[in-house]
Amino acid sequence: MKALVTGAQGMLGGDLCRLLRERHEVIGLGRADLDVRDEAAVRGVIADIRPDVVFHLAAMTDVDACEQAPAEAWRVNAEGTAYVVDACRRIGALVVYPSSIAVFDGEKAGPYTEEDIPCPANAYGRSKLGGEQAVAAYPRHVIARSGWLFGGGARDRKFVGKVLRLARERDTLLAVVDKFGSPTYTRDFAAGLIQLIEHGFHGTVHLVNAGGPASRYQVARAVLDCAGITTCALIPATSEAFPLPAPRPRMEAATSLRWPFAPLRHWRDALCEYIGYIGAKAPPTT
Distance separating alpha carbons of residues 281 and 15, to the nearest angstrom = 20
Report how far apart the first and last C-alpha atoms of the chain are (Å, whole number): 38
CA atoms within 13 A on the CB side of 205: 19
Helices (H), 113-252: 123-136, 159-169, 186-198, 216-227
Residue of 124, 185, 217, 274 marked active site: 124
As a residue count, the chain comes to 286
3-state SS class at 129: helix
Distance separating alpha carbons of residues 204 and 258, to the nearest angstrom = 8
The set of residues, in sequence order, having a beta carbon less than 8 Å from that of 76 and lying 6+ positions away, is: 36, 37, 58, 59, 60, 127
DSSP label at 112? B
Distance separating alpha carbons of residues 244 and 121, to the nearest angstrom = 14
3-state SS class at 108: coil
DSSP class per residue in 140-156: SEEEEEE-SEE--GGG-
Going by C-alpha positions, the residue among 68, 4, 62, 64 that lies closest to residue 36 is 4
Backbone angles phi, psi at 10, to 5 degrees: -80, 180
Identify whether 97 is a catalytic site residue: no
Residues labelled catalytic: 124
